């Protein structure tokens, strides 16, 4: 916990051609972007869990824009083909929820025509640079990169801790 806390204060500004990297966005929210390790949605979920994180939920326009800006700032065009998000409609077709919060999609940034549940077999959401970082629903078994974030509960606990002991940043 302590190590993670201090680690989370460090902002890594790497080029996207590095295999793995961590940004800090949105009020010190640590996120982890992996562009090179291509995995299906379930493996991506596990990859985040193994880092004590979650697949990212883009549940506000502010957060979505911050992520987009971070990706644009640190990456050359073409380096982000597709990245898994933490949204799925596996439980009920057509009803997308964020797995980190269990809440249905409120804010959405789907690309035109999506989610289209193409072939009746698209149940996992990903961000796609080709559609200007808008979202698409894809087959959950496709392999691509992914984005993790610190768990919302842990984030709030850490934030309260920091504010209590260190004051406002």
Per rule CB under 5 A, is residue 114 in the interface with Ca ion? Answer: yes
Per rule CB under 5 A, is residue 123 in the interface with Ca ion? Answer: yes
Cβ 95 to Ca ion, closest distance in Å? 9
With CB under 5 A as the contact rule, the residue among 47, 68, 89, 150 that binds Ca ion is 89
Per rule CB under 5 A, is residue 95 in the interface with Ca ion? Answer: no
Per rule CB under 5 A, is residue 137 in the interface with Ca ion? Answer: yes
H or E segment to which residue 150 belongs:
strand 144-150
DSSP state of 20: E
Per rule CB under 5 A, is residue 117 in the interface with Ca ion? Answer: yes
Per rule CB under 5 A, is residue 116 in the interface with Ca ion? Answer: yes
Q: Is 13 exposed, middle or buried (0-12, 13-18, 19+ CB in 10 A)?
A: exposed
Please state, in angstroms and rounded to a whole number, the distance separating the CA atoms of residues 90 and 13: 35
Q: Tokens 């998000």 correspond to what residue?
A: 85
Binding footprint of Ca ion on the chain (CB under 5 A): 89, 114, 116-118, 122-123, 136-137
């Amino acid at each position: 916990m302590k190590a993670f806390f201090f680690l989370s204060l460090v902002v890594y500004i790497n080029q996207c051609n590095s295999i793995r990297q961590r940004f800090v966005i949105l009020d010190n929210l640590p996120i982890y972007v992996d562009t090179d390790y291509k995995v299906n949605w379930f493996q991506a979920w596990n990859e985040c869990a193994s880092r004590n994180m979650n697949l990212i939920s883009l549940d506000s326009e502010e957060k979505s824009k911050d992520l987009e800006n971070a990706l644009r700032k640190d990456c050359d065009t073409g380096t982000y083909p597709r990245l898994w998000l933490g949204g799925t409609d596996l439980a009920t077709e057509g009803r997308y929820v964020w797995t980190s919060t269990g809440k249905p999609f409120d804010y959405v940034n789907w690309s035109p025509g999506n989610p289209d549940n193409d072939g009746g077999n698209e149940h996992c959401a990903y961000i796609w640079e080709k559609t200007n970082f808008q979202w698409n629903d894809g087959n959950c078994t496709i392999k691509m990169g992914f984005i993790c974030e610190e768990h919302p509960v842990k984030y709030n606990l850490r934030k309260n801790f920091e504010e209590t002991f260190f004051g406002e940043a």
